[in-house]
Structure 1
Amino acid sequence: MSADKLDAYRSKRDAARTPEPVPEPGSLPTGHDDTFVIQEHHARRLHWDLRLERDGVLASWAIPKGIPMDPKTNHLAVHTEDHPIEYATFEGEIAKGEYGGGLMLIWDRGTYETEKWSDREVMVVMRGSRFSGKYVLFRTDGKSWMIHRMDPPPATGLPPASDLRPMVPVERKRLPRDPAAYGFEFDLGGERVLAATGGGRVRLYDADGTVLPAGDHPELEPLGKAAGGLATVLDGQIVEMDGAPVYMIFDVLRLNSGDLLGRSYQDRRRTLDHLALRGPHWQTTPWFPGDGAAVLKVAREQGFPAVLAKRLDSPYDPGARSPYWLRVPTG
């Protein structure tokens, strides 16, 4: 065993190159062994990191598909190096090329109670702001573990969306004067639709919050199995492309039981890009940070009705006509 539980952690990080906490060797802090954090990690592949405070460090597992909500489904959990206690509050951008390079965001944090802790099995009850539940992590081989939910699942595999209404842009004649503060998208027109996915199902809502009849868009039924089975609430427009309907997705409002409304537009778009939603009748729209003039030029050439300018730091304000989002017609 290492003389210092954080030796492996320090060996993979250069304190001068990463914003992550890299404490100097020494005595470990004394806590109550009751803090947990789940971090959404935009590394080479999107995954979630579960960390449990234990003996002065955070015992850590990387979970590619997120915390399972249904006890019928176990998820892979790869045991990683112990992290410092300070990591429980860390959010930031780890530089590209560094170990774990990418955006790190706190998905949930709270307290937990230990029911069992051994080298092969960890059983805890977690209570966070987004979810609560009793879970067991059990070792299968080497660093590979599985995580299993032990109590009943939430009432539905679909996240709630009936309480949401689309955020609407303000009309403007010109692009914003500070384009570096915005991300730009093509406005392709079409029908504004929110889509709740999860458990292999999809439910569509119009701009008034009304559930669309299941037969209205049968081509979107397979969308329920996209995003690696994660539960999502998506925002987009259904447009006609080459004579067929395509759901053009430009925002993600909820993910894996987490509410993303308070996150910035930039962070939501990066999460959406990691989900890699592309199918025969749906795709993620491109976005272009700071490049408004070029986007407007292409939109005019292609005959698109307008360009959308969305502030990079904008939250999602359901139902609001917000000056954070601007719609600039091409004509």
Structure 2
Amino acid sequence: MADKQTYVQAGKHSLPISNLEKILFPGSGITKAEVIEYYFQVAPYFLQHSKGRPLSVIRFPDGIEGERFFQKDIPKWAPEWIHTVKFGKESKKNYVVADDAATLVWLANLASLEIHQMHFRDPKLGIPDYIAYDLDPAPDTDFEEIRHLAAELADMLREYGYHPFLKTSGSRGLHIFTPVHPVYTTDQCFEAAKAIATAFIKSNQTATLNLRRESRKGRTLVDIYRNRNGQTIVAPYSLRALEGAPVSMPLHWEGLDTLSSSQEFDISSAIDHLKKEGDAWEGIFSYAVPLHTDKTATAASVQLPINRKNKTASQLKEYGRKRNFSETPEPLPDLKPGNDLSFVIHRHNASRLHYDLRLEEGGVLKSWALPKGLPERPGIKRLAIATEDHPIEYLNFQGDIPKEEYGGGRMWIFSRGMYEIFKRKKNGFYFRLHAPHHNAEYRMHLMKENQWLLERVDEPSGDWVLNPPSPMLAEQRKTVPVNGDYIYELKWDGIRALFCWDENGMKIYSRSGREITENFPELNIHQFHGYNGVFDAEIVCLDQEGKPDFRKVISRMHSRRRQKNAYAYVFDLIYLDGRQIHKEPLWKRRAWLKETLLKSDPHFRYSEDEEDGKAFFKAVKEQQLEGIIAKVRHSEYSPGKRSANWLKIKVRDTSEVFVIGYTKVDDKAIFGALHIAEWVDGSYIYRGKVGTGFTHKIMKEVRSQLHEVNEPEADNIENLPKSRPDDVWVKPEIMVEIRYASITGKGIFREPVYVGKNK
């Protein structure tokens, strides 16, 4: 009897999947359905590193306790749409290449629990773009020793000029990858790895290069042999066929000290880890360098072997004709040796904002103007107008071009790194961009003359315009920090919100992720000096003196009636015109933010900053405002995390407290005030009553969720007063945030105000 099939949609492909209830990991009860779901969810991250690579898989049709198959050739009955490449001198095996999530789902349906990859991508078969070092310990080796060896090897690799990246093997050891320029043969890469590994084991007696287990004598193998022709290594984010379904997880080096095992991450924790921490290997291939054994690679040649083709002065004639180099700071039209691997994208605020894409080829930068910027996701096409070739030195240029000059205006480096063309067509080509915080695939199609269409072809790992992250949070301090490179902003007393906008309109999300667009129609606009983006802002309503009034904005939030105009004070920009920019330094994000708000509606206001934190806080205190935020000028934006890079110093303090009771009023649906207690060191401390800051709707909502008891349920509430006739006690289940002026000598909050209920 044929297996019952279910069809799932993955991208543009509908795939049959079967035997979803089959247990593949008996000890933990993990089913085939869970394996398929994992590979589908992890696909955007997996494909960043493995797309275009020949893959081998280890299949377990009957689970990890059954028979296993190591498979290189694609089955003859495989779907025609799956990308394959033939590689290998002897048999020319036909390898699967995972170009999309559908291929990963198809492999998972075959119970391909482990996916192993080669060190190169199609079409540069046999030309690796990284070197791998596999630290394979003896069975009884303590994991602390493996961590120590990984750190030591990484230090040595840095001394040789490489950028090491770490991942767990998912089994017992650790893997270190060093990206290299894809211009060398497998043999050249292996010899470079061998030279370093040989030097390493001379200074580390617990390591060896001996492949024979009986000859290792308890030492850890530094396995460089996976870099030989035709060899593979388990792919980043692949499962391993071990109980619990551990994952080969890329990590930041800071995480090495706390790593307890190579199997610390598994199928149940990996996706949550990725959503919280992001891809630790983001932009890995933008850190590629030449082999240290390549004597022809020099800094003068942009760190790469010289490419001498097509270098004639005529290539830059048009560039030179359009510019007066006694006036403009732009590079002279000099031809210099290059490598055909580098790219730069400029944000060009000239007579009209646009972007410039420049790809190095033949000793110059082939250039296109992008009037509406980069397409942020598949299905969006952007016009690209071919312009004159630019000199290679333009890779590093940014600054102010005089207004009277050609292209006059501010020019920023928006993205810079390495690129590769992986497919050529009659009227265009496909290419990948590798930058520290910008990795994407695009198609360039020639329409006529100098007009091209630019289209993104890969799914971004995080589309923040459609699915924004949680906002970054600040730590609280009592005093203003002055020993550091800080800027200081007003802490607005309003509703924290993320504003996500593109050509389809604006969506507004609260701190908890709830959409609140309809509550603020005057903020539902997208007339900005840019094409798409995500603002971090505070929505406020102002009183007659121009001060934020928290009660008014809360009233607006719940009434959906425009009783009082709201304003968005914007203080950060984390996504702009096709790419995440949260890892750019704060000063640059705010400079781009200020530019972006140039054309905006007056309801959007730039949150100004100050340099003198102490004087600013004094003024804020005198004006009886909420407080200030101190931010490290060069810091990144950390979505969803509370970070010391942002410090809030409040004029009034806040606290998260438990509701332990309320006072009765005639209307049984509401209350007069809430009794509150703070949880401190394992016990409750009574902090008094709060009766302000509520709307009628909030009162009804809170009252409906209170579960009454005869007496205070917690018998360890310190400072609790005697009950009065109008007091009603409840279970301490609901937490709320309270703002207060100070704490009295009796431990009661002075002037408490309700801020909100914790989600």
Indicate the residue corresponding to 1:313 in structure 2.
634
Of the three residues 283, 288, 293, the one matched with 2:605 is 283
User: How far did 1:275 drift?
Assistant: 0.7
1:205 paired to 2:512:
no
Structure 1 residues 135-159: Cα deviation after superposition (integer angstroms, max 9, x where no partner): 235567xxxx544235779699862
Residue pair 1:49, 1:61 contacting (<8 A) in 2 also: yes
Cα gap change, 1:246 to 1:257, in 2 (>3 Å)? same
1:132 paired to 2:441:
yes
Stretch of structure 1 that moved more, 128-137 or 183-192: 128-137
1:325 paired to 2:646:
yes
User: How far did 1:285 drift?
Assistant: 1.6
Question: How far apart, CA to CA, are the structure 1 residues paired with 2:373 and 2:638?
Answer: 26
Q: Secondary structure at the match of 1:159?
A: coil
Indicate the residue corresponding to 2:304 in structure 1.
none
Residue pair 1:161, 1:233 contacting (<8 A) in 2 also: no
Letter in 2 for 1:204: I
Of the three residues 548, 552, 571, the one matched with 1:250 is 571
Question: How far apart, CA to CA, are the structure 2 residues paired with 1:10 and 1:218?
Answer: 50
Stretch of structure 1 that moved more, 255-264 or 166-175: 166-175
List runs of 5+ in structure 2 lacking aligned partners: 1-311, 544-563, 653-759
TM-score when scaled to structure 2?
0.36
Stretch of structure 1 that moved more, 194-203 or 97-106: 97-106
Residue pair 1:68, 1:147 contacting (<8 A) in 2 also: no
Cα gap change, 1:165 to 1:8, in 2 (>3 Å)? same
Question: How far apart, CA to CA, are the structure 1 residues paired with 2:456 and 2:640?
Answer: 35
Question: How far apart, CA to CA, are the structure 1 residues paired with 2:574 and 2:455?
Answer: 27
Q: Secondary structure at the match of 2:522?
A: helix
Question: How far apart, CA to CA, are the structure 1 residues paired with 2:632 and 2:314?
Answer: 45
What does 1:50-199 align with in structure 2 at a 5 Å threshold? 50-69=357-376, 74-75=382-383, 77=384, 79-88=386-395, 90=396, 93-94=398-399, 97=402, 102=410, 104-107=412-415, 109=417, 110-112=419-421, 115=424, 123-129=428-434, 130-136=439-445, 146-149=451-454, 159-178=465-484, 181-199=485-503
Letter in 2 for 1:54: E
Letter in 1 for 2:454: R
Residue pair 2:430, 2:442 contacting (<8 A) in 1 also: yes
- Rg larger in 1 or in 2? 2
Stretch of structure 1 that moved more, 233-242 or 160-169: 160-169
Q: Secondary structure at the match of 1:230?
A: coil
Residue pair 1:167, 1:321 contacting (<8 A) in 2 also: yes
Question: How far apart, CA to CA, are the structure 2 residues paired with 1:135 and 1:83?
Answer: 19
Structure 1 residues 188-245: Cα deviation after superposition (integer angstroms, max 9, x where no partner): 211111122223233333223x2225433333322xx333562212111111125322
Q: Secondary structure at the match of 2:568?
A: strand
1:215 paired to 2:518:
yes
Residue pair 2:471, 2:511 contacting (<8 A) in 1 also: yes
Letter in 2 for 1:256: D
Residue pair 1:71, 1:153 contacting (<8 A) in 2 also: no
RMSD: 3.7
Structure 1 residues 117-167: Cα deviation after superposition (integer angstroms, max 9, x where no partner): 9xxxx7331212432121235567xxxx54423577969986244443323
Q: Secondary structure at the match of 1:299?
A: helix
Question: How far apart, CA to CA, are the structure 2 residues paired with 1:322 and 1:306?
Answer: 18
Indicate the residue corresponding to 2:581 in structure 1.
260
User: How far did 1:279 drift?
Assistant: 1.7
Stretch of structure 1 that moved more, 188-197 or 54-63: 54-63
TM-score when scaled to structure 1?
0.75
Q: Secondary structure at the match of 1:39?
A: strand
Cα gap change, 1:323 to 1:74, in 2 (>3 Å)? closer
Cα gap change, 1:174 to 1:13, in 2 (>3 Å)? farther
What does 1:218-233 align with in structure 2 at a 5 Å threshold? 218-222=521-525, 225-227=526-528, 230-233=531-534
Stretch of structure 1 that moved more, 159-168 or 2-11: 2-11
Of the three residues 523, 538, 549, the one matched with 1:237 is 538
Question: How far apart, CA to CA, are the structure 2 residues paired with 1:309 and 1:286?
Answer: 12
User: How far did 1:251 drift?
Assistant: 0.5
Question: How far apart, CA to CA, are the structure 2 residues paired with 1:292 and 1:137?
Answer: 54
User: How far did 1:15 drift?
Assistant: 9.8
Question: How far apart, CA to CA, are the structure 2 residues paired with 1:14 and 1:293?
Answer: 46
User: How far did 1:287 drift?
Assistant: 2.6
Indicate the residue corresponding to 2:659 in structure 1.
none
Residue pair 1:158, 1:198 contacting (<8 A) in 2 also: no
Letter in 1 for 2:539: I
User: How far did 1:325 drift?
Assistant: 1.7
Cα gap change, 1:261 to 1:318, in 2 (>3 Å)? same
Structure 1 residues 29-70: Cα deviation after superposition (integer angstroms, max 9, x where no partner): 2644x6543233466765321012232100223334212357
Question: How far apart, CA to CA, are the structure 1 residues paired with 2:628 and 2:479?
Answer: 11
Give the number of the structure with larger relative contact order, counting CA–CA contacts within 8 Å between residues 6 or more apart: 1
Percent identical pairs in the alignment equals 27
Letter in 2 for 1:218: P
Question: How far apart, CA to CA, are the structure 1 residues paired with 2:353 and 2:615?
Answer: 30
Name whichever structure is richer in helix by fraction: 2
User: How far did 1:310 drift?
Assistant: 1.2
Question: How far apart, CA to CA, are the structure 2 residues paired with 1:322 and 1:137?
Answer: 47
Letter in 1 for 2:315: K
Stretch of structure 1 that moved more, 275-284 or 312-321: 275-284
Residue pair 1:123, 1:137 contacting (<8 A) in 2 also: yes
Cα gap change, 1:190 to 1:197, in 2 (>3 Å)? same
Stretch of structure 1 that moved more, 130-139 or 267-276: 130-139
Cα gap change, 1:154 to 1:202, in 2 (>3 Å)? farther
Of the three residues 306, 315, 331, the one matched with 1:5 is 315
Q: Secondary structure at the match of 1:318?
A: coil
Q: Secondary structure at the match of 2:595?
A: helix
Aligned residue pairs total 309
